[in-house]
Amino acid sequence: MTVGPSRGRRYVMLFLFFCGFSIILFRLVTLQVLQAVELTAKANRQHEKTVSFEGARGMVSDRHGKVLAMNVEVPSVFGVPTSLENPSAVARHLSPVLRIRSSELEKKLRQNKSFVWLARKVEPEQGRRLEQLSLGGIGVVMEGQRFYPNGPLLAHVLGFSGMDGQGLEGLERRYDTQLHGEKRVTVLQRDALGRTIFPKGGKEQVPTQGQALTLTVDEVIQYIAEKELDETVVRTHARSGTIIVMEPQSGAILAMAVSPRFDPNSVSALTPDRWRNRALTDTYEPGSTMKAVVAAAALEEKVMTPGSMIFGENGKMTIASTTIHDHEKLGWMTFSEMIQKSSNIGAAKTGMALGDQRLYRYLQAFGFGQRTEIDLPGEVNGLLKAPKSWGRRTLASISMGQEIGVTPLQMVSAIATLANGGVMMKPYVVSEVRDQKGLLLMEVLPHAKRRVVLEETAKTVTTMLERVVTHGTGTKAAIPGFRVAGKTGTAQKIDPRTGGYSSTLFVGSFVGYVPAESPRLAMIVVIDEPQGEAWGGTVAAPVFRRVGEQVLNYLGVSREDTVKIALATRDY
């Protein structure tokens, strides 16, 4: 008879199995129930990776699609101090590559942080060398950086963006909402080696790129304006200079040059004084260029006709116990000659004939004392007091361009109004906004603000302004083969020490349009504090001629002597 295991041994076995399974069950409950949340999170951390993608900042291009601002990816270097065993040695390795002192790097790497930037937006070659070094605890990531391929060209208009891609100045700031790309966060699944397999849930959040801007500015015209302005500012040892070229019929800005220039690719060492867009942030007393506006108002109000006679008081006239001078002794002259010879006394008498209320009304209508509403940041109102605040001499002073502060943009807008037959257009710089696929989101169309004077009045003023260039103070602005209308201006600046007008500090300017019979360009040239001869007709008018001649040539505008021929074609 076979005897099986004793009952006792069976119970022992059963008990051992029970204990074993109990332990397994306990461990199972611990892992699956009690530590479930914690362990799930740990597992997710191991096989999931959260990454954020930032859409590139939108491109900015000129009216012909030439790139003026774009984004490029450059390496940035970071460190993980908590994972470093020997920060000193790592800093020594990094120092020659990053061109940063070893002690400075070591200081950063000794911080009790899990992440520190060591150098942001370095050169691609530096990034490559660091990757070759493959130092533990040091990483390289690619970041978008704004790049301006033309360097200083149009810098005052474009502005620049900051380290984190936010618009800080100029168009970059004004259109930051449109230009900046959107950030998207995606969770990616990864394998044991850390390689990405696919996005969690199968859907990846694609970052939206910034919108692209197309400007009204022409890169070539801008270059011509900047080149000529820079040369003049350097040659005359002037403090600064401004040129604005505008299309009178639309208000589109073709060029806006400010000297001295700056390179928006490296602004860290510069002060705001250097990147300020003086064309719309700085006011100056326009001097005699204001006489064109006063003349238009007088003609429109029929206070004067081109043939009206004015006595020049032999070059000296006293108003409110101050004496007004002309640069030459003038006797009787026609209203047209008064503009041609730029008589202060004649302008003062014209202003007085108009009266303070009417003159003020026209100054406002021509846009003085208010922003032009151009799509650029920082524009100022200028300075135009209401008649109730005027002194006894103010009417005469404003008529000859004193006691009024204007920006170059306001002045060129006013003259462009005359070029456009009396209709004032709103100046603008951005013509189109498109999305990353090129779809047109916004198109800016020319906007007529108001009619300021009748077309007939504008034509009469044009004829008078043509005489300024053919026989008057602005002969150096004459462009061979074209009819030029314009006005010179030479204004004394306020001496900050005395509070009165300086005898050495001037602003020389010329504002006009060409061809006078059918204007394609309205342009202002302002030279601030030129040394030596500072007359607008001497210092600014030649710049107008040189820029105007090159731009008209570039635009293919015919000279008066153009031979028109008929080209016959034949069928082949």
Partner 1 sequence: MKTLTILAGVMLVFVFVWERVDVVRLGYQIERSKSQKILLERERDQLQVKFSSLAAPERIAKVATEKLGLIPPQQGQVMMVHQSMDAPGLSSPPVEQVRLARHVVTGRINE
Task: Give the interface with partner 1 as residue ranges (CB under 8 A).
Answer: 66-67, 70-73, 142, 147, 149-151, 153, 189, 191, 195-198, 219-220, 223, 227, 480-481, 550, 553, 556-559, 562-571
Among 76, 288, 342, 397, the active-site one is 288
Distance (Å, rounded) from C-alpha 444 to C-alpha 173? Answer: 18
Q: Is 161 helix (H, G, I), strand (E, B) or coil?
A: strand
Is-contact 71 146, C-beta < 8 A? yes
Q: Which is nearer to partner 1, 266 or 314 (CB)?
A: 266
Least distance to partner 1, CB of residue 362, Å: 38
Show the DSSP H helices in 261-302 as ranges: 272-275, 278-281, 290-300
Is-contact 534 508, C-beta < 8 A? yes
Is-contact 405 365, C-beta < 8 A? no
Q: Which is nearer to partner 1, 480 or 500 (CB)?
A: 480
Distance (Å, rounded) from C-alpha 356 to C-alpha 137? Answer: 75
Distance (Å, rounded) from C-alpha 487 to C-alpha 503? Answer: 22
Least distance to partner 1, CB of residue 245, Å: 15
Least distance to partner 1, CB of residue 551, Å: 12
Neighbouring CB atoms inside 10 A of 293's CB total 32
Q: In the block, which residue shows the tokens 């059963």?
A: 14
Least distance to partner 1, CB of residue 223, Å: 4
Q: Which is nearer to partner 1, 145 or 473 (CB)?
A: 145
Least distance to partner 1, CB of residue 544, Å: 16
Show the DSSP H helices in 326-429 as ranges: 335-341, 344-354, 356-365, 394-399, 408-419
Distance (Å, rounded) from C-alpha 522 to C-alpha 16? Answer: 102
What is the distance in angstroms between the CA of the first residue and the CA of the last residue of the chain?
A: 123
* Residue-level length of the chain: 572
In eight-state DSSP terms, residue 368 is T
With b meaning 16 or more CB within 10 Å and e meaning fewer, what string describes 156-182? bbbbbbeeebebbbbbbbbbbebbbbe
Least distance to partner 1, CB of residue 194, Å: 12
Q: Which is nearer to partner 1, 499 or 556 (CB)?
A: 556
Q: Which is nearer to partner 1, 3 or 567 (CB)?
A: 567
CA-CA-CA-CA torsion sign (59, 60, 61, 67): negative
Q: Which is nearer to partner 1, 66 or 361 (CB)?
A: 66
Whether 288 sits among the annotated catalytic residues: the reply is: yes
Active site residues: 288
